Amino acid sequence: MTAIPFLYSMPTRIIHGPGSLGRLGEEAGLLGLRRVLLVSDPGVRKAGLVERAQEPLQKAGIAASLFTEVEENPCMATVRRGYDLLRAERLEGVIVIGGGSAMCAAKAIALLGSNGGEISDYEGVGKFALAPLPVIAIPTTAGSGSEVSQSFILTNEVRNDKFTVSGPTNFPSMAILDAELLMSVPPRVAVFAGLDALSHAVEALWAKGATPITEALALAAIRSIFANLRRASFSPDLAAKDAMIVASSMANMACGNSGLAIVHAIGRFIESRYHYPHGQVNGVLLPIGMDFNRPVCARQFSAMARGLSTRAGDGAETEERLADRAAGLVRDLMRANDFALTFDLRPPAAELRQMAEATERYPMTARNARAVTAADAEAMLRAAFGM
Whether residue 4 is contained in a domain is answered as no
At a CB cut-off of 8 Å and minimum separation 6, what does 245 contact? Answer: 139, 142, 177, 178, 179, 182
- CATH number of residue 52's parent domain: 3.40.50.1970
- Helix, strand and coil content of the chain, in percent to the nearest 5, comes to 60, 10, 30
Which domain range does residue 83 map to?
A: 13-182
Whether residue 2 is contained in a domain is answered as no
pLDDT at 215: 96
Residues 222 and 345 in one domain: yes
Average pLDDT over residues 182-189: 95
The mean predicted confidence, pLDDT, of the chain is 94
Residues 131 and 215 in one domain: no
pLDDT at 1: 38
For 160-171, how does the pLDDT look when each residue is reduced to its tens digit (9 = 90+)?
888 999 999 999
Q: Say yes or no to pLDDT of 312 above 50.
A: no
Q: Say yes or no to pLDDT of 184 above 60.
A: yes
For 349-365, how does the pLDDT look when each residue is reduced to its tens digit (9 = 90+)?
999 999 999 999 999 99
Average pLDDT over residues 209-228: 96
Residues 203 and 346 in one domain: yes
- Give the pLDDT band (50/70/90) at residue 7: confident
For 85-107, how does the pLDDT look when each residue is reduced to its tens digit (9 = 90+)?
999 999 999 999 999 999 999 99
Domain boundary among 124, 149, 182: 182
Note the Cα 332 to chain centre separation in Å.
22
Residues 155 and 204 in one domain: no
The pLDDT > 90 percentage for the chain reads 91
pLDDT at 103: 96
pTM of the model: 0.93
Q: What are phi and psi of 16, to 5 degrees?
A: -125, 150
Q: Say yes or no to pLDDT of 311 above 90.
A: no
- Going 219 to 220 to 221 to 222, the CA torsion angle's sign is positive
Average pLDDT over residues 255-261: 95
At a CB cut-off of 8 Å and minimum separation 6, what does 269 contact? Answer: 355, 358, 359, 362
The beta-strand segments (E) located in the chain are 13-16, 35-39, 63-67, 93-98, 124-125, 135-139, 151-156, 161-166, 174-177
Domain boundary among 182, 216, 243: 182
Rounded Cα distance between 341 and 220, Å, is: 24
For 133-178, how does the pLDDT look when each residue is reduced to its tens digit (9 = 90+)?
999 999 999 999 999 999 999 999 998 888 999 999 999 999 999 9
